[in-house]
Every structure is written in structure tokens, then in C-alpha cells.
């Protein structure tokens, strides 16, 4: 098995740190799935309740997120690598770039007395006489997941949703959900083809609704037959009731740069929040519908 990747763009490097930092606040363990054309970072999914959070980075373009990307999986038939590590260890290894610029960050799977993910970066330090470029190195212990356990980390890549709607700013949603999480355990999101998004919480004594207008909303899937076409034509609104605190926790922890946020709703079944970042990278968060009071 081999894995080596290099990031040379300063904004991509900081965005990578932001993704790892966000995941570390959501879950202790980080799963790294190395594939020939993409790198997937994910938290341990709470499979019993259908909650998933992952980041997918396109590694096929040399002028994209990675300037270098090489890998060999466990064998030719299963050309992937799954490994797990402590998310906080990854954050510490990258913490220098939070307030400092570097020329590159190199990730490499190595084996000393145990498997490790080596993190190397080249810093730039200037004084009156010289410009120094010291190398900063860390080794993060990882556990390489055997092939027969890969199914534990499968993520739902092919979910069909009913409506897809653009989201307002993360700051606006963060403030709104911070208030709503103390009112009720669940919040219902309604999207309509009239380009409206509503967030509603209900208690025994009050219903509080917040409305956003002029957000582009479109049907998220194509009908495959006449029955599906009729159902989709009549579905001008889709809604999903989810755990308020889990949704609020996401917006409390995210810290991305310029992203496009989209909510995809499968009516009364699941909510997907997608953050599209630069250079063909995105973060996906899926929350299942909940019925508890």
C-alpha cells in the first residue's frame, strides 16, 4: 500500500484544516478513505440512526486541490485504503498553518514500528539577513482497516432527494438554530418550488416559524416513469423533521471560506446539507427524519 499527496495552494491548505477541525468537533475518530481519483474524509457514522458526515475531494486534477496525488491500494481488485486516526491529532499536526503560511503540505503513509500518516510542511521564516525554510514534520498514528471491515464505513452516495434549495448564510442559520434548539427537540424544514425555505419548531404552547424567500428551489430528481412523473409534478413542497441540536451543532462547528450551501430534502425521510467548496471539494451532512417529541 502506498499513499502520497501534496497541497501547494494556501487557501486549499487552510480549507483542509477547517474541514478536519469541523469533523474533530463532531466526532473523536476520523476515517480516511484513499481512492485512485478522490480522497474521502468522514466521521464514524452513527449507522443506527442514519447520520453521516463526510468530505469528498477530487484528486484527479493536478491543478485542483492536490498538486500531487499517488496511491496503491491493498490489491488491484480493491484499489483503496481505509485508515482511522484521532481527529484531534490531525488538527494538531496541521495547527501551524492556522496563523502561518507554508509552501506545501505533504501527506504520506509510512510504517515505522506502526502505521503512521506523515505530515510534512515547509515553513518560511524571514529575518533581516536570511530567509529560512525549515521543515515541520509530524507522524500521526493510524489504524489501517482490513478489507473485511470496509462495509462499516460505507456512506450513502446514491440517495435520491425530492427538492433541492439554496441555503441562506451559515451565520444566519447558526444564530437562528441556536435559539430554536432551546425551544423544541425537533425542527422541520419546508422547501417549496416557490423558492421559499421555512424552519418551524412546535411546542405545546407555541409554534415558531422562520421564513427565507427568493432562494432557488428545483426538483432534485428526474422521473423514471409516468407514476413518478405525476408524483413529482404534484410535489411542490418537501419537508423533513430533524433533531434540532444535531443540526445546530453542525452550524456551530463549520468554519469554511467561500462555500455554496444547498439543502436536499427527501420528503419526510432525510435532510442533506451540502457545502460546495472550491477546487472540486464538498462536504455532505445527512440527517434522517425523526419523530420523537
The full set of domain ranges for the chain reads: 2-153, 163-288
Task: Name which residue leads in pLDDT, 131 or 142.
Answer: 142
Find the range with the poorest average confidence among 42-56, 58-72, 104-118, 131-145.
42-56
pLDDT-derived band of residue 90, with 50, 70 and 90 as boundaries?
A: very high
Report how far apart, in Å, the C-alpha atoms of 270 and of each of 137, 157, 257 are.
42, 13, 26
Find the range with the poorest average confidence among 102-106, 185-189, 219-223.
219-223
Residue 263 pLDDT more than 90?
yes
Same CATH fold assignment for domains 2-153 and 163-288: yes
Chain-centre distance for alpha carbon 239: 22
pLDDT-derived band of residue 223, with 50, 70 and 90 as boundaries?
A: low
Which of 93, 22, 60, 24 is closest to 284 using CA atoms? 22
Q: What is the pLDDT of residue 231?
A: 55
What's the mean pLDDT when you consider all of the chain?
Answer: 87
CATH code of 2-153, in short, is 3.70.10.10
**Percent of the chain scoring above 70 in pLDDT:** 89
Residue 155 pLDDT more than 90?
no
Find the range with the poorest average confidence among 56-65, 122-131, 252-261.
122-131
Give, to the nearest 10 degrees, the angle between helix 244-253 and helix 10-26: 150
First to last CA, the chain: 49
What average pLDDT does range 227-240 have in this prediction?
A: 67
What average pLDDT does range 265-273 have in this prediction?
A: 94
**Percent of the chain scoring above 90 in pLDDT:** 59
C-alpha cell at 109: 503513509
Residue 258 pLDDT more than 80?
no
pLDDT-derived band of residue 253, with 50, 70 and 90 as boundaries?
A: confident
Q: What is the pLDDT of residue 47?
A: 47
**Domain 163-288 maps to which CATH number in 1.10.645.10, 3.40.50.620, 3.40.50.10490, 3.70.10.10?**
3.70.10.10
Vertex 203, ends 198 and 207: CA angle to 5°? 40
Cβ within 8 Å of residue 174, ≥6 positions away:
248, 251, 252
Amino acid at each position: 500500500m502506498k499513499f502520497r499527496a501534496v497541497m501547494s495552494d494556501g487557501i486549499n491548505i487552510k480549507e483542509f484544516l477547517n474541514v478536519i477541525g469541523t469533523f474533530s468537533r463532531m466526532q473523536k475518530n476520523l476515517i480516511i478513505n484513499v481512492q485512485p481519483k478522490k480522497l474521502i474524509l468522514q466521521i464514524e457514522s452513527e449507522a443506527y440512526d442514519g447520520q453521516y458526515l463526510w468530505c469528498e475531494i477530487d484528486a484527479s486534477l493536478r491543478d485542483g486541490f492536490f498538486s500531487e496525488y499517488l496511491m496503491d491500494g491493498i490489491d488491484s481488485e480493491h484499489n483503496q485504503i481505509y485508515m482511522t486516526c484521532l481527529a484531534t491529532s490531525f488538527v494538531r499536526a496541521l495547527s501551524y498553518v492556522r496563523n502561518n503560511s507554508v509552501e506545501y503540505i505533504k501527506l504520506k503513509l509510512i510504517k515505522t514500528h506502526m502505521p503512521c500518516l506523515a505530515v510534512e510542511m515547509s515553513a518560511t521564516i524571514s529575518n533581516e539577513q536570511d530567509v529560512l525554510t525549515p521543515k515541520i514534520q509530524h507522524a500521526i498514528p493510524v489504524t489501517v482497516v482490513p478489507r473485511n471491515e470496509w462495509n462499516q464505513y460505507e456512506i450513502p452516495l446514491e440517495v435520491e432527494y425530492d427538492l433541492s434549495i439554496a441555503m441562506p448564510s451559515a451565520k444566519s442559520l447558526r444564530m437562528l438554530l441556536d435559539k430554536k434548539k432551546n425551544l423544541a427537540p425537533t425542527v422541520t424544514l419546508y422547501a417549496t418550488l416557490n423558492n421559499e425555505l421555512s424552519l418551524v419548531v412546535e411546542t405545546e404552547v407555541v409554534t415558531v416559524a422562520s421564513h427565507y424567500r427568493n432562494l432557488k428551489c428545483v426538483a432534485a430528481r428526474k422521473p423514471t416513469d409516468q407514476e413518478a412523473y405525476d408524483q413529482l409534478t404534484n410535489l411542490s413542497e418537501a419537508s423533513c423533521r430533524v433533531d434540532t441540536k444535531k443540526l445546530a451543532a453542525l452550524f456551530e462547528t463549520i468554519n469554511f471560506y467561500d462555500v455554496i450551501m444547498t439543502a436536499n430534502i427527501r420528503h419526510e425521510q432525510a435532510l442533506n446539507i451540502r457545502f460546495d467548496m472550491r477546487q472540486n471539494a464538498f462536504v455532505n451532512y445527512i440527517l434522517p427524519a425523526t419523530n420523537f417529541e
